[in-house]
Amino acid sequence: MNKMRFLPILLLSAALYAQQDRRGRVDVEHYDIDVAVTPASQTMLAKVKMRFTPLDDRLSSIQVDFNDAMRVSNVTDDAGGPVAFSKTSDFNYRLQFSQPLAKGKSTTVTFDYDGRFDGREESPVYGIRFAAVEATGAAFLYPARWFPVNEYTSDRYTMNLNVTAPTEFRVLSSGVDLKSEAGTNTVTSFKTTQPALYGSFSLVKVKPVQTSIEGVTTTMFFNNVAMANETGAMVSKAMNFLSDLNGKPASVNLYLAETFKGFPNGYSAPGILFLSPSGIGTEVNQRLIVNQVSRQWWGGLLSPSSRNHIWIVNGLARYSESMYFESTGGPSAVETEMRDVYVEALTQPEPPLIQSSRYEDYSPEFWAATAGKGSAVLNMLRGILGKDKFEATLKNFAKTYAYKQVSTNDIRKMAEQAYGSDLQYFFIQWIESSGAPEFKLTYTVFRTAKGFRILGKVSQDLDTFRMPVKLKIETEGNPEEKTVEVVGTSSEFSVETFGKPVIVKLDPDMQVLRYDDKIRVSVAIRKGEQFAEVSDFQEALKEYQKALEVNRNSSLGHYRVAEIFFLQNNYQAAANEFREVLNGDLEPKWTEVWTHINLGKIFDITGQRERAVSEYNQAIRTKDNTQGAMEEAAKHVREPYKRQNTDR
């Protein structure tokens, strides 16, 4: 009995502790930042004033994301009094105030700090750089959290940014820029008036190349000047296409700045794109350009209200690629495109998209879910709304929520407004729930007085599933299309046709994100590739074997297994698998030419030159130059392949 008396006290104590420990909610409204960058010493020195409004009453502490490479010397409040500043976890810090802050009353905190960025510092995302200072220039991107950030990728603000740098450098950032010289340094000031995710800037030395094409002016600062004109032309195409689709962005004219090795291929900030050397490449990466230009709307003009809604901007950016390629290559071009997107999406069946905050930023899983599945969801939504209403939804969405945060409910309401009917079921299925169906179709055909009737049933495993699905009926005359409502695990339907049905296909265009044997093979191979990319070959082999259990003739499955054996110097096992590639379905087609090349390499390594040359010549006879196969084969006809040093 006495033990029971303590229970309410313990529960009350736990509740009080949770209340004290929870992160205080604030809205950051504005930054005033003075930062001096010294390329010669690879350092920066900054003073940041962060004005915010508490959203909770009697707030005693808040937490911000902040780069661990920074050395903070001072944090003060409005009155100049000290604010306790302590690390809570990697790249996250707590500010403790001496007096509780009142809800709704703005306050300003000032940070003084410095840091060195020479490539040895840790990044908020392992293996990806977002900040660098080198003798040739510097780049600081928003994901580096080089200034204190509240609610990463969500909380929007205005900013006055003053960057001091040696006079030989030009500073690029978002906003209107003004310059003033002070001795050997130049101060460049950037001012913004509409809230967004500002704070990305670059120091460049190279001379700009400018293109003005069809009303779009693009100013590029590339080391590889030869890529500027083609890139500018592609930016113009993307900007005009996306402006027609989404409405005009804040600025149709963009700066493009080259970053450094190890940075993401692309990063988009308001009015400026940052491209890495590999992102610029030696051929224009159309997909990358379209994706990054689209983020002038999706992420620039509007941003998600939390990480759980980031599928909206990443999905729209990814789907922009598909719509662009559809506009240039027609419906057939987008079919292959969307199949790849669906495969990518199905590599991450868990968790639901509404729990996207569980993914690590920039991880393959993060992109597969928020961009891949997000794009798949938008494609299915377009299938329900129709092309015209879907495009009207995008334009209204961008216009209505310009310079604001958005949630899943916001885009749902926009879609419902265009569609004229409730779509809650759709968003519950694809955003709030996990999993995907696998359809089984059975049907019987009956003759009627006016033609034919098909009585059928669609079965699948998801109890709460609901989705309109297209039915294509091949007849002795013209094909006919109907729509059936699939609800629950078993749905019966009855459709009438004039011509005699020959075959009935459910979801013939693969509009619904779903499984079948072919997709299961592709998903398993893609997951294996993801493991192989991080050198987890054991897990990769398990996934490839799953693919081969479904389809023993999958040439791609055998090819991926052979690749791993080759990397492990297990040449007999690799040769066996490469032979299975040639005995398989030869899908995709390039598996044939590269199998012959790799067999040639194995024979060269094992001292069988005549057999090696035979394989290289067979590769040449395919006339398939995928990824430079013809050059590679011809090279090794002339000179034997030599394996890399295997000393451990």
Per-residue model confidence as pLDDT tens digits over 223-249: 999 999 999 999 999 999 999 999 999
Alpha helices in 247-363 (DSSP H): 277-280, 286-294, 311-329, 331-346
In this structure, what CATH number is given to the domain that contains residue 614?
1.25.40.10
H helix or E strand, kind and range, residue 27 = strand 26-38
Model confidence at 328, in pLDDT bands (50, 70, 90)? very high
The pLDDT value given to residue 285: 96
pLDDT at 2 over 60: no
The amino acid that residue 29 corresponds to is E
21-44 tens-digit pLDDT: 456 899 999 999 999 999 999 999
Distance CA 524, CA 118 (A): 40
Query: What is the pLDDT at residue 11?
Result: 39
In this predicted structure, what is the pLDDT of residue 22? Answer: 52
Identify the H or E element spanning 134.
strand 131-134
pLDDT band at 647 (very low <50, low <70, confident <90, very high): low
Same domain, 418 and 322: yes
Q: Where do we find the tokens 């979801």?
A: 507
Closest CA to 337 of 294, 548, 345, 369: 345
What pLDDT score does 365 carry?
A: 92
- Interatomic CA distance for residues 228 and 282, integer angstroms: 10
CA nearest to 67, candidates 133, 134, 148: 148
Indicate whether 232 and 378 sit together in one domain. yes
Whether residue 123 contacts residue 161, with contact meaning beta carbons closer than 8 Å, is answered with: no
Cα separations (Å) of 162 from 77, 159, 179? 21, 10, 9
Which of 401, 432, 463 delimits the end of a domain?
A: 432
| Residues across the chain | 648
Strand order in the sheet with 452-459: 440-447, 452-459, 490-497
Overall average pLDDT of the 480-488 stretch? 92
User: Coil, strand, or helix at residue 78?
Assistant: coil
Average pLDDT over the chain reads: 93
Whole-prediction pTM: 0.90
DSSP string, 385-398: H-HHHHHHHHHHHH
Residue 12 maps to a domain: no
Taking only Cα atoms into account, the Rg of the chain, rounded to an integer number of angstroms, comes to 29
* 592 and 625 co-located in one domain: yes
Of residues 335 and 67, which shows the higher confidence score?
Answer: 67
Do 498 and 451 meet the contact criterion of CB atoms below 8 Å apart?
Answer: yes
User: What percent of the chain clears pLDDT 90, i.e. is strictly above it?
Assistant: 88
Residue 508 neighbours by CB under 8 Å, 6+ apart: 470, 472
Do 196 and 213 fall within a single domain?
no
646 inside domain:
no
The residues near 346 (Cβ < 8 Å, ≥ 6 apart) are: 436, 513, 515, 519, 523
End-to-end, the C-alpha distance of the chain in Å comes to 67
* Closest C-alpha among 313, 297, 368 to residue 527: 368
Within 13 Å and on the Cβ side, how many CA atoms surround 489?
3
What pLDDT is stored for residue 646 in this prediction? Answer: 58
Tokens 């402006």 locate to 243
Query: How far is Cα 465 from Cα 439, in angstroms, rounded to an integer?
Result: 11
Query: Tokens for 231?
Result: 């890139």
**Residue whose C-alpha is closest to residue 374's, from 397, 408, 398:** 408
Residues 409, 279 share a domain: yes
| pLDDT per position as a tens digit, 196-216 | 999 999 999 999 999 999 999
The HSE-up count of residue 565 (CA atoms within 13 Å, CB side) is 19
Measured in whole angstroms, the distance separating CA 109 from the mean position of its chain's CA atoms is 33
In a domain, 511, yes or no: no
If pLDDT is split at 50, 70 and 90, which confidence band does 327 have? very high
Question: Which of 7-11, 191-195, 398-402, 553-557 has the weakest average pLDDT?
Answer: 7-11
What CATH number is attached to the domain comprising 34? 2.60.40.1730
Asked if residue 359 and residue 282 are part of one domain, the reply reads: yes
Who contacts 583 (Cβ-Cβ below 8 Å, separation ≥6)? Answer: 553
Per residue in 629-639, pLDDT (tens digit) is: 999 999 999 99
What SS3 state is found at 590? Answer: helix
Helix (H) or strand (E) holding 76: strand 70-76
609 is a domain residue: yes
- Residue 7 domain flag: no
- Residue 19's pLDDT is 40
- Which residues is 63 bridged to in the sheet? 94
Closest CA to 201 of 163, 247, 254, 147: 163
What pLDDT is stored for residue 116 in this prediction? 96
Q: Which of 371, 400, 432 is the last residue of a domain?
A: 432
Tokens found for residue 552: 């023993």
Residue ending a domain, among 188, 204, 220, is 204
Q: Determine the structural domain holding residue 500 and report its residue range.
A: 440-506
Same domain (yes/no): 229, 340: yes
* pLDDT > 70 in the chain, percent: 96
5 lies in some domain: no
Residues 522-530 have a mean pLDDT of 94
Angle at 465 between CA 462 and CA 469, to 5 degrees: 115
What average pLDDT does the segment 343-367 reach?
A: 94
DSSP type of residue 588: S
371 and 301, same structural domain? yes
Distance between CA atoms of residues 329 and 323, nearest Å: 10
Q: What is the pLDDT of residue 336?
A: 84
283 & 411 share domain: yes
In one-letter notation, the amino acid at residue 177 is: D
**Residue at 235 is within a domain:** yes
pLDDT of residue 297: 98
Mean pLDDT of 311-328: 96
In sequence order, what DSSP letters do the residues of 146-203 get, joined into one string?
A: -S-BSSTTT--BEEEEEEEEETT-EEEESSEEEEEEETTEEEEEEE--S-B----EEE
Q: What is the CATH number of the domain that holds 391?
A: 1.10.390.10
Tokens 């013809």 belong to: 630
| Same-domain status, 274 and 358 | yes
Number of domains comprising the chain: 4
Q: What does 93-143 look like in DSSP terms, one character per residue?
A: EEEEEEEEEPTT--EEEEEEEEEE-SS-S--SSTT---EEEETTEEEE-GG
How does pLDDT run across 582-602, given as a tens digit for each residue?
999 999 999 999 999 999 999
**Burial letters for 278-288: b for 16+ Cβ neighbours within 10 Å, e otherwise?**
ebbeeebbebb
Residue 214 has φ and ψ, to the nearest 5°, of 50, 45
Return the structure tokens found at 228. Answer: 């500027």
Quick: pLDDT tens for 160-187. Answer: 999 999 999 999 999 988 777 767 899 9
d(CA 227, CA 283): 7
Which tokens in the block code for residue 557? 């499955």
Q: Say yes or no: 466 and 530 in one domain.
A: no
Local structure of 133: helix, strand or coil: strand
Measure Cα distances from 599 to 44, 49, 641 in Å.
53, 63, 11
Instruction: Assess if residue 15 is contained within a domain.
Output: no
Per 3-state DSSP, the chain is made up of helix, strand and coil in percentages (nearest 5) of: 40, 30, 30
230/350 same-domain check: yes
